[in-house]
Chains A and B, each alone.
Chain A
């Protein structure tokens, strides 16, 4: 099925460990992004990309790294996990071309990450 595939669904890390959250979409969306969801905070933008080779920071980028080598993939790397990074992470993608932005974002199923 077409959509956004996000892995893993659950992960427990120890403080200081690194890991990569994977995100892939098969809808030829130009725009991809990562959000974190915390209770009472809504979804906050971590990083985003408007195309292959182009990334930029969102609202809460510290401690995270991204790259976009292909249109389809947009992995999120936690460089040295901290308890403050315990959260639910969502990858989302969308069209960026004028006239298509109104279709909104397609979200992955989320990753619940716990850092102990």
Chain B
């Protein structure tokens, strides 16, 4: 079974600075999908960024980018120019390409942003 590990339960960043959230996963598959979700205090789950394993180019969405290292099974999220609204819990997630195609989540990391 696939596992997703987020080893840092909490992180803090100064407003306008850059922060990187780490995620590793375990799989024997070669084709899969990876996601970062943001959960603000409102509880809503918001898709931040996605990466398809067969694409070597790292995904980017405005201030959010990933460092996808397939051989190392690492998928970190970089937030540039951090804003107060970035404060939230962030979940890394893995989706297999198979017929059941379940989404497996890490335990999450709580990011705080200091003004």
A associates with B: yes
- Confirm or deny: A74 has a beta carbon within 8 angstroms of a beta carbon on chain B: no
Residue from A33, A42, A56, A112 within 8 A of B106 (CB atoms): A42
Q: Could you tell me if B44 and A110 are in contact, using CB atoms closer than 8 angstroms?
A: yes
Residue of A nearest to B4 (CB): A42
Q: Of B45, B47, B102, B107, which one neighbours A48 at CB under 8 angstroms?
A: B102
Say whether, besides A33-B102, A109-B44, A103 and B97 are in contact (CB < 8 Å): no
CB–CB B95/A101 < 8 A: yes
Q: Is the CB of A101 within 8 A of B50?
A: no
Are B35 and A101 touching (Cβ within 8 A)?
no
Q: Encode B48-73 as 1/0 by CB contact (under 8 A) with A.
A: 00101000000000000000000000
B interface residues (Cβ-Cβ under 8 A, vs A): 4, 9, 33, 35, 43-45, 47, 50, 52, 91, 93, 95, 97, 99-108
Least CB separation from B36: chain A residue: A104
Task: Give B100's nearest chain A residue, CB to CB.
Answer: A50
Task: Assess whether A53 is interfacial by the CB under 8 Å rule.
Answer: no
Residues of B contacting A105 in the complex (Cβ-Cβ under 8 angstroms): 45, 47, 103
Q: Which of B35, B52, B103, B104 has the most CB of A within 10 A?
A: B103
The answer to whether A40 touches B9, judged by C-beta atoms less than 8 angstroms apart, is yes
A104 contacts B100, CB within 8 Å? no
Task: Assess whether B44 is in contact with A101, with CB atoms less than 8 Å apart.
Answer: no
Does A113 count as interface, using CB distance less than 8 angstroms?
no
A residues in contact with B91, CB < 8 Å: 42-43
Pair B50/A107 contact, Cβ less than 8 Å? no
A106 to B93, CA, bound (A): 13
The answer to whether B102 and A43 touch across the interface, beta carbons within 8 angstroms, is no
**Closest CB of chain A to B103's CB: distance in Å?**
6
Contact (Cβ within 8 A) B101 A101: yes
Q: Which stretch in A14-22, A61-69, A88-96 binds the other chain?
A: A88-96
